[in-house]
């Protein structure tokens, strides 16, 4: 090995060791350190411990600036001078961050010192504390100069919650009533900016105080129907809501950051909705402290800053960095807004209901707003609905812990090995049942069938399985996804189908393996009328070119046709065919200009024909190269399967019941071949076709169309015409009074066309870019070319006629001149003769 090679190998070896032991290219030089102070009440040992554990956890990480933590424990009996001295000593070290968690009011002295020195402060206590004995709220610190991880409410999120409720209640116009606080003024101005894009109209904004009560009451009588009340003053809210009761149908929305449960003993409005922040009782102060330190850690190391130099940020920069923080901490998800305050966890939406027995209002919980979504709870009788997963009718996904299901999906329960698992269900049937339950004012409770079957009758045991069995046993009240069969109709009542369906076949496209000869496949690019038109055009052009050359007056003959023309009919045939196929014409060519013009137009038309034919023929051949293994249910491979050819359907489905108990001998014969290959679900059958363990899968055509359109490789084909038409229907146990209610509700939504719309949405939602044969060209598609030829031929005829007329007139004029000259010559000759005599 040469010296350069040894050197290169050594460099490579050293570089590899450096990378392995450098912890991701992090050299061991000091990354810097930041001072961080924790301020706690002396008796709050849990918060102090959480602070120390969180800083130790940060310092244990590689390639991050270290936290030099210091703890201040403030005694309740400490004097102001002692606290000032303690604060000055602590801040002399120039700390970068502070976690403030002291609830003693005297601790604000330390907070004020930290703010004046530009320390980045995160508070673990709320910016205000509610005292329900007073009229409003009291600030525990100035929220404008610090960031808060224990924010109960914020202006932006409260506005978003209000807008969501306005949309739910379908409010378009409303009046706003507020107190005179600057925070209320700021909120309304922020709300105004969001109204126009949502087509909302704030008709008037009233600022209430006790001196203008009469004016306020009069204004409500004339202009109000929907009113939004915004205040944190509970006493003021009582006064506003106690206006005249002449209009009990007015609807109010009351926004408040306090507990409004004690309101309402002197007024009787029908509808008063409240939006209040959620006060989490399970989260301890120490949890907020832990998340405060973790948030600071994220600002130092997040977004690619780990292992890089980082200086202590200014307050504005610190707030921007906090807005990038997003993690799940000890106090639930942690996320900050642009002002450096934590986004509130959620707002509760309640409605005040009057309790006549106790002569007071009680809060009825309707739902909550969280993470940008409004989730409303439905009140009413539970309706236990049985279902199975069958795309696109019913699909499900795991439910995230602590979060509601996404819009468009509903909570459902699935029992697996005795354990109930929560999932979120969505699909065509889910949309339909949601509409029907709203019509019936029922609360749907979705339950998966225990055995995953729909219901097939076991003659040996004289029993049903699946959904039918659970309807009969009372585990469920109703099923929205049961297909009608004659056997099932004996034990359950079916409504009319809301989704007609039939049985079809799913197969995977394969290379064509047969050696069948298609004698006329080359004719498929054009329809028969186009081929006849082409042949007719060729014949007409042959005769036209020959005739034009014959009647041409250029030869100076007085006859209409020239029997001695060198361009005969055989020459016209060869010349036209040469033009059609782009070959040079070796025969004689027409001499007239008109015939040559017609030849050019005919050649252009034939060029388009030939090019289009070539392209379409190639496309037909490519598509013909792939084909499904069968054409329909009556294919010879279905009737007499060759060795290794398998097909099946879903156990316990109406398809299996149809083949097994059919009166048609052929379908019972099909069941004999498929019963050993059946699968448990639609997805399992589709996967079996993809992997090749099944050659053909038999199921209802709606599910097969959905799966075919969602195939990533576009290899699945739904073949055959639908047969054994049935459809998804709503089923209840025989003689259940619920049958009449659900039938009426179904009729109402079908009359509105909702079921057809929902089905079209789910089935046509996805489209696989499948390679399909091109459409055959029709005569209408080529009408422009025939028009071009016609115009050229007419122009040729007119040009030839004009030329002939011109030549005839010229010949006549020449002949007349010649006669005059001959007569003059004769006279001169006669005069000369007389002179001689």
In a domain, 655, yes or no: no
| Shared-domain flag, residues 606 and 544 | yes
Cis peptide before 392 (omega within 30 of 0): yes
| Shared-domain flag, residues 239 and 372 | yes
Q: Enumerate the known binding-site residues.
A: 488, 700
At 637, list the tokens: 């491979």
Range of weakest confidence among 233-247, 469-483, 612-626, 740-754: 612-626
At 477, list the tokens: 């009240």
**Residue 78 confidence (pLDDT) above 70:** yes
What is the spatial distance between Cα 578 and Cα 646, in angstroms, rounded to a whole number?
55
Phi, psi values for residue 188, rounded to 5°? -65, -40
Read off the pLDDT of residues 773-808 as tens digits, 9 standing for 90 and up: 445 545 555 556 556 657 766 776 777 677 677 767
DSSP for 304-329 reads TTTTS--PPPPHHHHHHHHTT-EEEE
Name the 3-class secondary structure at 157. Answer: helix
Q: Which residues contact residue 330 at a Cβ distance below 8 angstroms, ignoring those fewer than 6 apart?
A: 50, 283, 286, 287, 288, 290, 291
Name the 3-class secondary structure at 757. Answer: helix
At 321, list the tokens: 């960095």
Read off the pLDDT of residues 165-194 as tens digits, 9 standing for 90 and up: 888 777 888 889 998 888 889 899 999 999
**CB atoms < 10 A from the CB of 335, how many?**
17
The answer to whether 207 and 238 have CB atoms below 8 angstroms apart is: no
Give the pLDDT score at 19: 45
Which residue matches tokens 């050659």? Answer: 695
| Shared-domain flag, residues 291 and 366 | no
In a domain, 627, yes or no: no
Give the pLDDT score at 128: 64
Read off the pLDDT of residues 279-302 as tens digits, 9 standing for 90 and up: 655 678 898 999 999 999 988 887
The answer to whether 737 and 496 have CB atoms below 8 angstroms apart is: no
The answer to whether 110 and 102 have CB atoms below 8 angstroms apart is: yes
| Shared-domain flag, residues 318 and 259 | no
Read off the pLDDT of residues 649-688 as tens digits, 9 standing for 90 and up: 998 788 888 898 888 999 999 999 998 999 988 889 999 9
Cα R_g (the chain), whole angstroms? 45
In a domain, 640, yes or no: no
Q: Which residues contact residue 88 at a Cβ distance below 8 angstroms, ignoring those fewer than 6 apart?
A: 113
* pLDDT top residue among 704 and 768: 704
**What does pLDDT average to over the chain?**
78
| Shared-domain flag, residues 182 and 137 | no
| Shared-domain flag, residues 171 and 230 | yes
**CB atoms < 10 A from the CB of 735, how many?**
7
What is the spatial distance between Cα 387 and Cα 793, in angstroms, rounded to a whole number?
72
Q: Enumerate the known binding-site residues for L-glutamate.
A: 488, 700
Q: Which residues contact residue 191 at a Cβ distance below 8 angstroms, ignoring those fewer than 6 apart?
A: 159, 162, 163, 176, 202
**Residue 733 confidence (pLDDT) above 80:** yes
Instruction: Report yes or no on whether pTM surpasses 0.75.
Output: no
Read off the pLDDT of residues 424-470 as tens digits, 9 standing for 90 and up: 999 888 988 888 888 887 888 999 998 888 888 888 888 898 899 99
* pLDDT top residue among 49 and 9: 49
Read off the pLDDT of residues 294-347 as tens digits, 9 standing for 90 and up: 999 988 887 666 556 668 888 888 988 988 888 888 877 788 888 888 887 788
Give the pLDDT score at 29: 44
| Shared-domain flag, residues 542 and 590 | yes
In a domain, 162, yes or no: yes
The CA-atom distances, in angstroms, between 572 and each of 1, 528, 603, 786 are 83, 26, 14, 20
What is the spatial distance between Cα 622 and Cα 625, in angstroms, rounded to a whole number?
5
Percent of the chain predicted with pLDDT > 90: 16
What's the half-sphere exposure (Cβ side, CA atoms, 13 Å) at 713? 9
For 75, the domain range is 31-150+285-335
| Shared-domain flag, residues 85 and 178 | no
Mean pLDDT of 383-391: 89
What is the spatial distance between Cα 46 and Cα 51, in angstroms, rounded to a whole number?
9
Please report, for the chain, how many H helices and E strands are present, in that order: 23, 32
In a domain, 371, yes or no: yes
| Shared-domain flag, residues 75 and 53 | yes
Q: Which residues contact residue 44 at a Cβ distance below 8 angstroms, ignoring those fewer than 6 apart?
A: 101, 102, 285, 286
In a domain, 525, yes or no: yes
At 435, list the tokens: 């509409």
| Shared-domain flag, residues 89 and 199 | no
Containing H/E element for 96? none
Give the pLDDT score at 10: 53
Give the pLDDT score at 399: 86
**CATH number of the domain enclosing 198:** 3.40.50.2300
In a domain, 66, yes or no: yes
Q: How confident is the model at residue 598 (pLDDT cuts 50, 70, 90)?
A: confident
What is the spatial distance between Cα 260 and Cα 365, in angstroms, rounded to a whole number?
13
Q: Which residues contact residue 311 at a Cβ distance below 8 angstroms, ignoring those fewer than 6 apart?
A: 32
In a domain, 754, yes or no: no
Positive/negative CA dihedral, 786, 790, 793, 795: negative
Number of domains in the chain: 4
Read off the pLDDT of residues 33-69 as tens digits, 9 standing for 90 and up: 889 999 999 999 999 999 999 999 988 888 888 899 9
Query: How does DSSP classify residue 454?
Result: -
Mean pLDDT of 209-235: 75
| Shared-domain flag, residues 42 and 176 | no
What are the residues facing 368 on neighbouring strands? 348, 375
| Shared-domain flag, residues 132 and 210 | no
Mean pLDDT of 343-366: 73
């Amino acid at each position: 090995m040469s010296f350069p090679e040894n050197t290169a190998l050594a460099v490579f070896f050293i570089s590899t060791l450096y990378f392995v032991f450098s912890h991701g290219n992090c050299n061991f030089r000091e990354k810097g350190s930041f001072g961080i102070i924790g301020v706690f009440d002396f008796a709050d040992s849990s918060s102090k411990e959480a602070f120390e554990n969180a800083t130790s956890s940060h310092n244990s990480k590689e390639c991050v600036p270290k936290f030099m933590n210091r703890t201040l424990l403030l005694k309740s009996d400490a004097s102001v001078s002692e606290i000032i001295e303690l604060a000055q000593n602590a801040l002399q070290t120039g700390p970068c961050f502070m976690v403030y968690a002291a609830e003693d009011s005297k601790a604000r002295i330390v907070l004020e010192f930290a703010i004046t020195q530009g320390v980045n402060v995160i508070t673990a206590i709320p910016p205000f504390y509610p005292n329900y004995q007073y009229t409003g709220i009291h600030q525990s610190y100035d929220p404008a100069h610090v960031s808060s991880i224990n924010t109960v409410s914020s202006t932006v999120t409260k506005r978003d919650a209000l807008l969501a409720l306005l949309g739910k209640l379908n409010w378009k116009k409303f009046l706003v009533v507020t107190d005179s606080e600057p925070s209320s003024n700021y909120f309304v101005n922020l709300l105004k900016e969001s109204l126009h894009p949502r087509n909302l109209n704030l008709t008037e904004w009233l600022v209430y105080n006790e001196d203008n009560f009469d004016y306020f009451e009069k204004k409500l009588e004339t202009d109000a129907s929907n009113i939004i009340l915004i205040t944190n003053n509970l006493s003021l809210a009582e006064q506003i809501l106690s206006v005249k009761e002449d209009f009990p149908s007015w609807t109010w929305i009351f926004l408040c950051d306090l507990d409004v449960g004690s309101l309402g003993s002197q007024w009787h409005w029908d509808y008063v909705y409240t939006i209040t922040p959620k006060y989490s009782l399970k989260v301890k102060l120490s949890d907020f402290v832990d998340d405060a330190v973790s948030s600071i850690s994220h600002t130092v190391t997040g977004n690619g800053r780990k292992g890089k130099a980082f200086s202590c940020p200014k307050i504005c920069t610190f707030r921007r960095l906090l807005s990038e923080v997003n993690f799940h901490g000890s106090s639930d998800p942690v996320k900050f807004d642009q002002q450096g305050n934590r986004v509130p966890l959620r707002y509760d939406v309640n409605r005040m209901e009057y309790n006549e027995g106790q002569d007071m209002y009680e809060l009825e919980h309707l739902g909550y707003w969280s993470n940008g979504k409004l989730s409303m709870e439905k009140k009413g009788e539970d309706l236990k609905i049985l279902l199975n997963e069958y795309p696109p009718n019913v699909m499900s996904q795991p439910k995230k812990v602590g979060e509601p299901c996404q819009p468009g999906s509903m909570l459902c329960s699935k029992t697996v090995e005795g354990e109930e698992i929560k999932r979120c269900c969505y699909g065509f049937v889910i949309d339909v049942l949601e509409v029907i339950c709203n019509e019936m004012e029922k609360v749907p409770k979705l339950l998966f069938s225990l055995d995953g079957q729909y219901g097939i009758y076991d003659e040996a045991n004289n029993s049903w399985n699946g959904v039918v069995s659970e309807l009969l046993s009372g585990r469920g009240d109703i099923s929205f996804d049961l297909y009608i069969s004659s056997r099932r109709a004996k034990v359950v009542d079916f409504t009319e189908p809301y989704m007609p369906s039939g049985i079809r076949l799913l197969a995977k496209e394969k290379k064509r393996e047969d050696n069948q000869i298609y004698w006329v496949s080359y004719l498929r690019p054009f329809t028969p009328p186009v081929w006849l038109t082409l042949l007719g055009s060729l014949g007409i052009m042959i005769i036209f070119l020959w005739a034009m050359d014959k009647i041409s007056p250029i030869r100076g003959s007085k006859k209409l046709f020239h029997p001695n023309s060198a361009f005969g009919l055989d020459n016209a045939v060869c010349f036209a065919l040469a033009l059609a196929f782009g070959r040079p014409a070796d025969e004689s060519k027409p001499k007239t200009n008109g015939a040559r013009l017609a030849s050019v137009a005919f050649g252009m038309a034939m060029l388009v024909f030939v090019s289009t034919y070539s392209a379409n023929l190639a496309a037909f051949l490519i598509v013909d190269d792939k084909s499904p293994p069968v054409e329909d249910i009556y294919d010879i491979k279905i009737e007499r399967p060759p060795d290794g050819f398998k097909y099946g359907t879903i156990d316990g489905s109406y398809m299996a019941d149809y083949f097994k108990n059919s009166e048609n001998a052929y379908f019972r014969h099909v069941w004999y071949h498929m019963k050993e290959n059946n699968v448990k679900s639609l997805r399992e059958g589709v996967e079996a076709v993809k992997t090749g363990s099944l050659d053909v899968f038999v199921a209802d055509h709606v599910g097969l169309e959905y799966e075919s359109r969602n195939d990533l490789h576009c290899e699945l084909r739904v073949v055959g015409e639908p047969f054994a038409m049935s459809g998804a229907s709503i089923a209840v146990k025989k003689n259940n009074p619920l049958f009449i209610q659900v039938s009426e509700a179904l009729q109402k939504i079908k009359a509105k066309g909702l079921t057809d719309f929902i089905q079209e949405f789910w089935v046509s939602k996805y489209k696989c870019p499948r390679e399909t044969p091109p459409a055959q060209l029709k005569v209408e598609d080529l009408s422009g070319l025939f028009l071009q030829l016609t115009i050229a031929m007419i122009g040729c005829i007119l040009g030839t006629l004009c030329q002939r007329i011109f030549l005839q007139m010229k010949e006549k004029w020449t002949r007349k001149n010649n006669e005059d000259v001959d007569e003059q010559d004769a006279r001169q000759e006669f005069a000369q003769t007389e002179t001689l005599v």
